Amino acid sequence: MELFVQLMVSGVVTGGIYALIAMGFVIIYKATGVINFATGELMMLGAFFCWTAMTAARAPFAVALVVAIVAAGALGAAVERVVLRPLLGKRTISVIMVTIGLSAIFKGVAEILWSGEYRSFPPIFPRAPVVLGSVILPSRQAYPFLIAVAAIALVGLGFRFTRTGTAMRATAGDQATAFGMGIDIRRVFSLSWSLAAVTAAVSGVVIGAIGGISPQLGAVGLRILPVVILGGLDSIGGALLGGVIMGILENLAGGYLDPLMEGGGVKEVAPFVALVGILMIRPWGLFGSREIERL
């Protein structure tokens, strides 16, 4: 029972961070219908921006985070303008491959700029563990989780209550109508990429603060695919719930099944087995909208 509770709690914590990364996928998919396979690499770059600001410029964490957010936002907008816009309306394969190409470029550039070495963040969070009843959370799990939840809440509220957020939701709902109502679709596209890059950067910083950063960090992005599909590709609430469910599933599978398997690694593969199941039964996920095709 002790183990179960501990696994559940760390599952929820992992899930919160997964949800934040998943939101990066969802924001872009909602607005432009593209799955951004470079999300992981955007995370990695965001984490490196923050790390560089903290170590090279000796900036305090809050300032470094703002630097990383601004830089990531600019990068996201630039990527959308230069690479994605010429491919608007092209075949799915082109759009998928272009983001995969981008991820290779980002990874290579990061390795050239910061070398392939593993680096750890300067200590950011207070060291004392957080105690919740009988469960003890190490501080390097508790604070990142709080940051992730705060970021998700912020973006969610922004979508709900700001003018820009409303424009973005309208575009996601019906592009042609939104355009007819005077919404600048192109601005929405570029804003979506910026916003997605920013959420990716924040999640990159959070993950980097937990376990250190290297150009290989981007590989995490792939592990978020099951989360996004479970929640529904175009649902932010779904990303949140999907993140938590997948985080728990992963931790339970890791905790109970890994010791039974000789080679281990069940933790990594279990979400993908679940993914195949979801795609077979309910491809649009928990809260995604069903695609209806008309000729």
**Residue of 5, 74, 90, 181 interacting with another protein (CB under 8 A):** 90
Distance, CA of 201 to CA of 79 (rounded, Å):
15
Residues 243-272 close enough to bind another protein by CB under 8 A: 261-265, 268-269, 272
Of 44 and 151, nearer to another protein (C-beta) is 44
Residues 96-155 that bind another protein (CB under 8 A): 96-98, 100-112, 116
The two most distant CA atoms of the chain are separated, in Å, by: 61
Task: Determine contact, residues 174/10, Cβ cutoff 8 Å.
Answer: no
Which candidate, 203, 158, 211, 226, places its Cα nearest to that of 21? 203
Say whether residue 286 binds another protein (CB under 8 A): no
Complex with another protein: residue 141 or 251, whichever CB lies closer: 251
DSSP 3-state of 138: coil
What's the half-sphere exposure (Cβ side, CA atoms, 13 Å) at 122? Answer: 14
Q: Is 86 in the site for another protein (CB under 8 A)?
A: yes
Shortest Å, Cβ 119 to another protein: 16
Nearest distance from C-beta of residue 156 to another protein, angstroms: 24
Residues 23-82 that bind another protein (CB under 8 A): 35
Specify the residue, 57 or 112, whose C-beta has the smaller distance to another protein. Answer: 112
- HSE, side-chain direction, 13 A CA sphere, residue 64: 23
What element of type H or E holds 204?
Answer: helix 185-211
> Do the beta carbons of residue 225 and residue 18 sit within 8 Å?
no
> What residues make contact with another protein under the rule CB under 8 A?
35, 83, 86-87, 90-94, 96-98, 100-112, 116, 215, 222, 225-226, 229, 233, 261-265, 268-269, 272-273, 275-276, 279-280, 283, 293, 295
